[in-house]
């Protein structure tokens, strides 16, 4: 069990952060042990196809035999939503002695894989190994996480909104009550059960940083007792993240927009002027203009001037609506 002793000032300084590098590193567990992460199997299947030419042996070796991950790979976020590149730069700056300490800590029985053998060498070798790890993390982020990051960020932000409300309504007890069965709040101490380590960290005014995670399957504090209190925890609504987008149908779209605007939206896969649209639909230009104004105001079409003409075309949002209708 790992415990965080939190005083009044620490609770007042409890805050949230989003960390793209946390998600990147924690996702490695999903690749290695899919049986523990059934909700992420659609993501895993899609990523494996893109990783065919990617040698992930070094990255996978950073997940220890007990699924622990070296602390230096998940640095404490310095602001609410840092970019992946900012966080990766912090990892690159990790002193060699901390890299060595953290990697050795995730192999408590001392059997380091051959690919990590330089971790016990001189500081220059450790720094070179850290550089190789960071280079691979950048490539892995580009391929596996960055394409889905906007959707992931929305889920993480929704979880934080919910947790903030829990804290406002019921204090720390309600904040942690439904976060995870392994968490227990009692008399100013947050207990985290079923951990590899067993230590007690007194916050002493350093506060508590909460980092919601898509890929965490249970609460994950730092492995080292020397780190300030931080907790990565499974966020809500992960099951919705990889679910296929609901498909629409033409009948539903006509009910939403009306038949004339649905036909008009379907026509605007290419830029067209009002007169040409009216000719193709066999209606007056004034009637077309009225519908175009509504579709433009709602963000379903864009418009641009070409000489004396104004050309209209479906926006990305309009493309999605029209595409779903065509599949329905």
pLDDT tens, position by position, 246-290? 455 667 777 778 888 888 988 898 889 998 898 888 888 888 999
pLDDT at residue number 244: 66
pLDDT band at 301; cut points 50, 70, 90: very high
Task: Tell me the β-bridge partners of 213.
Answer: 234
Q: 65 or 92, which is more confident?
A: 92
Percent of residues, the chain, with pLDDT higher than 70:
96
Mean pLDDT, rounded, of the chain: 88
Which residues have C-beta within 8 Å of that of residue 150, sequence separation ≥ 6? Answer: none
pLDDT class of 53 with cuts at 50, 70, 90? low
What pLDDT does 250 receive?
64
Residue 171: per-residue pLDDT = 87
Tell how far CA 14 is from the center of its chain.
21
**What per-residue confidence (pLDDT) applies to 327?**
42
Residue 237, helix vs strand vs coil:
coil
Domains, in order of start, for the chain: 2-240 (no CATH), 250-327 (1.10.10.10)
pTM of the predicted model as reported, rounded to 2 decimal places? 0.72
Residue 231 has pLDDT above 90, yes or no: yes
Q: Give pLDDT, residue 325.
A: 47
pLDDT in tens, 103-128: 998 898 878 999 998 999 999 999 99
Q: Backbone dihedral region of 163: left (phi > 0), alpha (psi from -120 to 50 degrees) or beta?
A: alpha
Summarised one tens digit per residue, pLDDT across range 138-182 is 999 999 999 999 889 988 998 998 998 888 888 888 999 989 999
- What mean pLDDT do residues 15-40 have? 92
Interaxial angle between packed helices 250-257 and 259-267, expressed in degrees from 0 to 180 and rounded to the nearest 10: 110
Instruction: Give mean pLDDT, residues 74-81.
Output: 91
């Amino acid at each position: 069990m790992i415990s965080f002793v939190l005083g009044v000032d620490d609770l007042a300084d409890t805050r949230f952060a989003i960390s793209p590098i946390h998600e990147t590193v924690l996702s490695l567990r999903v690749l290695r042990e899919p049986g523990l992460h059934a909700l992420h199997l659609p993501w895993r299947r899609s990523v494996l196809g893109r990783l065919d030419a990617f040698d992930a042996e070094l990255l996978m070796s950073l997940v220890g035999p007990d699924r622990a991950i070296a602390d230096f790979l998940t640095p404490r976020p310095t602001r609410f939503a840092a970019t992946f590149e900012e966080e990766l730069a912090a990892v690159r700056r990790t002193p060699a002695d901390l890299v060595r300490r953290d990697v050795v800590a995730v192999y408590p029985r001392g059997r380091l894989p051959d690919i990590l053998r330089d971790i016990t060498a001189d500081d220059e070798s450790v720094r070179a190994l850290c550089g190789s790890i960071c280079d691979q993390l950048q490539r892995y982020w580009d391929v596996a996480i960055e394409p889905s990051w906007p959707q992931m960020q929305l889920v993480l932000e929704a979880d934080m909104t919910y947790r903030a409300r829990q804290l406002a309504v019921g204090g720390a007890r309600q904040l942690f009550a439904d976060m995870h069965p392994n968490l227990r709040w009692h008399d100013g101490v947050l207990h985290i059960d079923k951990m590899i380590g067993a230590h007690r960290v007194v916050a002493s005014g350093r506060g508590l940083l909460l980092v919601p995670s898509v890929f965490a399957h249970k609460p994950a504090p730092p492995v080292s007792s020397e780190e300030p209190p931080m907790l990565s925890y499974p966020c809500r609504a992960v099951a919705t993240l990889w679910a296929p987008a609901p498909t629409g149908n033409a009948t539903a779209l006509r009910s939403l927009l009306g038949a004339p605007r649905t036909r008009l939206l379907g026509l605007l896969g290419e830029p067209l002027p009002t007169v040409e649209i009216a000719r193709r639909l066999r209606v007056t230009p004034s009637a077309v203009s009225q519908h175009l104004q509504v579709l433009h105001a709602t963000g379903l079409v864009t418009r641009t001037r070409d000489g004396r003409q104004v050309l209209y075309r479906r926006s990305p949002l309009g493309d999605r609506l029209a595409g779903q209708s065509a599949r329905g």
